[in-house]
Structure 1
Amino acid sequence: MTRTWSHDRAHAFFSRASWNPDLLGISLSHLIVRQLRPKSAVLTAAVDDTLSKRRGKKVFGAAWQHDGAATGPRGVGRGTCFVVLGLVIELPSLARPVCLPVMARLWRPGQEVSKVDIAASMIRLLAACHHGRRVHVVADAAYHGKALQRRLEEPSRCPGPGC
């Protein structure tokens, strides 16, 4: 790639451009649905959170948090925790479904917004932007039950014209 584009040009594009992660995720979800799902098919969305281990004083959002993949008795790690929403897709060339991530949001401990709030917000946005499609949600026990169901009943609207 360095022969085609200089590193400075690529860095300027990604660092100075105006990005809306939600619109990017919705656009990506529309592309996936249009190419890989039949028109009448139900969308299956998977939600989970993941800890990306990070060190250093200047890492935004890094804190000691629960780490489901931690080995040992403590089960904690230092890093950033992202709540991720993906679309579960069955591809004919594979024996089992795959999850294609379309949205992710940073969760920070000590904030008023919980991981369940973030997940519900992304699910409502996905459902609002795929009008008329039924959306099934798959999640682990942290997102299961009335806490998420209550939050999903709140209305949502698309953030831009592409929805």
Structure 2
Amino acid sequence: MSLKNNRLRLASVAVTVALAGLATAGPAVAATQQTVAGASAGVQGQAVAIPTDFVDLPTSPLSADSASHEFTVTYRNESSVDRTVAPQLLVESPDAGPFLTPADIKLERRTTHGCWEAVQVGTQSGTLFTDLSTAQRTLHAGDTLTQVYRLTVVNPQAKGTVAPRVALYG
């Protein structure tokens, strides 16, 4: 067996172990799996950004009334240095189920131009979540992050909790 094949196998095993570890870490970190998977597809030399902390914001019950409800994720960088942050919206299923699926909701995000754009959600262990890797941004010292989401429950039987939060990096 050649040295090149051994390196490829070792790299493949390392990526598999990393993905397995992230999958058990929960929905917040699972959103970074796309970045790790991209690394296995040949994008080398990129560091995978993993949150170091989260700021949980007040939760609210999931309203299954087919009306659109807005949720605002707000965080102020009180430090004296720039900080990388990512807003995230979690929609958690009841502990006893039934578990929510992405088809149960319609999620949109307000753009800087005031328009609504569709947001795809991931799912893990009954929790729907927005992707962290695409939501990352640099928040300058003293600045405030405000991200508005619009959530519509498509399945009238859906039950759960909406949990907005902000992922902090570094």
With structure 1 as the length reference, what TM-score do the two structures score?
0.29
By relative contact order (CA 8 Å, sep 6+), the higher-ranking structure is 2
In proportion to residue count, which structure has more strand?
2
With structure 2 as the length reference, what TM-score do the two structures score?
0.28
In proportion to residue count, which structure has more helix?
1
